[in-house]
Amino acid sequence: MATTIPDQKRVGMVSLGCPKALVDSERILTRLRADGYAMSADYAGADVVLVNTCGFLDSAKEESLAAIGEAIAENGRVIVTGCMGNEAEAIRARFPDVLAVTGAHQYEAVVEAVHEAAPPAQGPFVDLVPQGDVKLTPRHYSYLKISEGCNHACAFCIIPQLRGPLASRRIDAVLREAEKLVAAGTRELLVISQDTSAYGVDVRHEERVWKDRALRTHMTDLARELGQLRTAEGETPWVRLHYVYPYPHVEAVIPLMAEGLLTPYLDIPFQHAAPSVLRAMKRPANEAKVLERLRAWREICPEIAIRSSFVVGFPGESEADFQYLLDWLDEAQLDRVGAFRFEPVAGAAANDLPGAVPEAVKEERYARIMERTEAISAAKLSARIGRTIRVIVDEVGEPDEDGDIGATARSQADAPEIDGQVFLRNVPASLKPGDFADVRIEDADAHDLFGVIAPG
């Protein structure tokens, strides 16, 4: 017999920022759904709207403030959470009608604020325990957050101020969540944190028992166990490691990639290559050893894809420093690269450094690094033409006037939202999102591949 909750309250969510914030949004919504709330897809249908903010850069803060303003204008009942939560006074000064402001990953405070703003209406005969957690990503991929916070003191970053020091989750809890996600249909796990390589440092790599085995709270133990997961069909899900600092123990996960247990992909935030700039950033500055490690990793696992991001125009960056970075990139031959113009962030130590780079110079350097990295990417992707590669399907289109169906997929070198795609033509009608498929690559550009399902 169908049951309904009388006067069921509905919650809207605007989630901004990085995947770590998206996981926070999922956890908040999961808790609220368990408390009897329904989710609203628009402002008009919501009794209260949550805005999960980003506060990493001033431009991100402006985007967050704009989202708060839009939510107030469209709905009027707004609760703010996330990384800008530590600037509650500034938020309230601009938007005095905001109902509550909480900080990053303060789940209990957010839920309490929602309860106060729109008390849940619970019927005595209704089971409010959800069948599964709320997901804000497609069913076939999920973010797996293994820790909060960061112990680094990078000059350009205020993450430790926003999210606190490193706080690792129990390894058995992480593995339990991963197993649950895969059982529910996840085909790709994206492991995220502020510093995945440092997982467990804060708890001295304490041991926990998982399935009658003692495991260390350590990246290598976690990676090895994640590589043992299997889907309901018996396939190995893709396990993709993000935010990996190139510490020596990272070498231990490369053989797992070569064996097919982990996705051959590492997201490493190098930020720069010139030693003087790295020192000013308070980052590890042994860029020569990094190049040696990249060569060693590729010898073990030739298919490994390396993604990274770089900051141009950091205070004190000279033309020689920037040219050093370009030369380093030529040698490193990274597969996926993002670049950012340096942007002062309130509270960051870099703001007090001398040698501010003019905006026009930042723009010129940004254009040059993008041109260089696009050329490297285009050459690497061009080399894949004629090869057959494994992909995961994200979307399947409708038949065109000739009955042909197109699909959008990703290779193992492509993380969702940030990397390239594989566009497929004339796929079978039985193909669906989340399917793995072998495809023959027919063409490429600077970022994407184009192909067709391989015969047989």
Structure confidence at residue 129 (pLDDT): 46
Structure confidence at residue 6 (pLDDT): 58
Structure confidence at residue 286 (pLDDT): 61
pTM over 0.85: no
Is 326 exposed, middle or buried (CB count within 10 Å of its CB: 0-12, 13-18, 19+)?
Answer: middle
Q: Is 365 left (phi over 0), alpha (psi -120 to 50) or beta?
A: alpha
Question: Are 10-117 and 141-382 the same fold in CATH?
Answer: no
- The CATH number of 10-117 is 3.40.50.12160
Give how far Cα 313 sits from Cα of 220, 268, 272, 330, 354, Å: 35, 20, 10, 19, 12
Domain ranges of the chain: 10-117, 141-382, 388-453
DSSP of 270-300: -B---HHHHHHHT----HHHHHHHHHHHHHH
Q: Which CATH class is domain 141-382?
A: alpha beta
Return d(Cα 105, Cα 108) in angstroms, integer.
9
Return d(Cα 206, Cα 91) in angstroms, integer.
40
Q: What is the DSSP letter of 456?
A: -
Structure confidence at residue 130 (pLDDT): 46
Q: In 175-304, where do the E strands start and end?
A: 188-192, 207-210, 213-216, 238-241, 265-267
Return d(Cα 452, Cα 426) in angstroms, integer.
7
- Could you state, in chain order, the average pLDDT of each consecutive group of 10 residues for the chain (456 residues)? 64 89 88 88 93 85 92 94 87 93 85 90 50 76 93 83 89 96 95 94 96 95 96 93 90 94 95 94 74 94 96 96 97 96 86 93 97 97 97 95 94 95 96 96 97 90
CATH 2.40.50.140 fits 388-453, yes or no: yes
Structure confidence at residue 299 (pLDDT): 96
Q: What are residue 396's DSSP bridge partners? A: 407
Structure confidence at residue 287 (pLDDT): 62
